A and B are shown apart, each in its own frame.
Chain A
Amino acid sequence: SQQGEEDPQALSIQEGENATMNCSYKTSINNLQWYRQNSGRGLVHLILIRSNEREKHSGRLRVTLDTSKKSSSLLITASRAADTASYFCATDAGYSSASKIIFGSGTRLSIRP
């Protein structure tokens, strides 16, 4: 079974609104990453948060991590049409070398004009 599970599976919002996606995982981690995948393309790394961090920002992205609940959230503020994509969380499943990265099932985000 996969380490991470995103919620919701699909999300449709109006352009300009904020989008929030959640990720829950099963085992202890050293870090958690978020990736974006545009249709038919490879994944692009967005942001990495370490297990000793609670919040991290990058441009319009805000990631939070709650290790006690084994969950993370990705917030995209002021959404744009170009944000339409699938978003995946990924964890190292506790491997200290972070050489083995396991992905969740993803959230499909659609931005309506």
Chain B
Amino acid sequence: NAGVTQTPKFQVLKTGQSMTLQCAQDMNHEYMSWYRQDPGMGLRLIHYSVGAGITDQGEVPNGYNVSRSTTEDFPLRLLSAAPSQTSVYFCASSRQGGGYGYTFGSGTRLTVV
């Protein structure tokens, strides 16, 4: 199994541009989440989903949109990139119901200039 796959691995954007970070998992996990990690810091939750068609906001949702049309995919959209969104973005998935750890992707390193 591939686990959680994130693309691209690296991206440079200009201020004001939009883009979509892709996340796909092949483990049939119901739960999926997006986090951002700034240098030397922990992870902050952006958006999360408990299943296809259901999403909710995390700790830092402003400037980001998500949708979950299938169980496998959970793309994160940056609407109008800002330098403050320079960060490493991680996607993670888990079985539902609690009591299970999350499987993380390898991350997307985004720089906004």
Residues of A that sit less than 8 Å from B by CB:
2, 30-31, 33, 35, 41-46, 48, 50, 88, 90, 92, 96-106
Contacts and interface: CB of A to CB of B under 8 A. Distances in A.
A97 B43 contact: no
Q: How large is the interface on B (under 10, 10 to 19, 20 to 34, 35 or more residues)?
A: 20 to 34
A86 to B, nearest CB: 9
Interface of B: 4, 31, 33, 35, 41-45, 48, 50, 56, 58-59, 90, 92, 94, 96-107
B55 to A, nearest CB: 11
A33 B101 contact: yes
B43 A43 contact: yes
Nearest to A3: B59
Contact of B43 (A92, A100, A103): A103
Contact of B106 (A31, A41, A96, A97): A41
Nearest to A108: B40
Contacts, number: 71
B43 to A, nearest CB: 4
A102 B44 CA distance: 7
B99 A31 contact: yes
Given A2-B42, A106-B42, A99 B105 contact: no
With a 10 A CB-CB cut-off, give which of A44, A45, A98 has the most chain B CB atoms.
A98
A48 B107 contact: no
B105 A98 contact: no
A88 B42 contact: yes
A101 B31 CA distance: 10
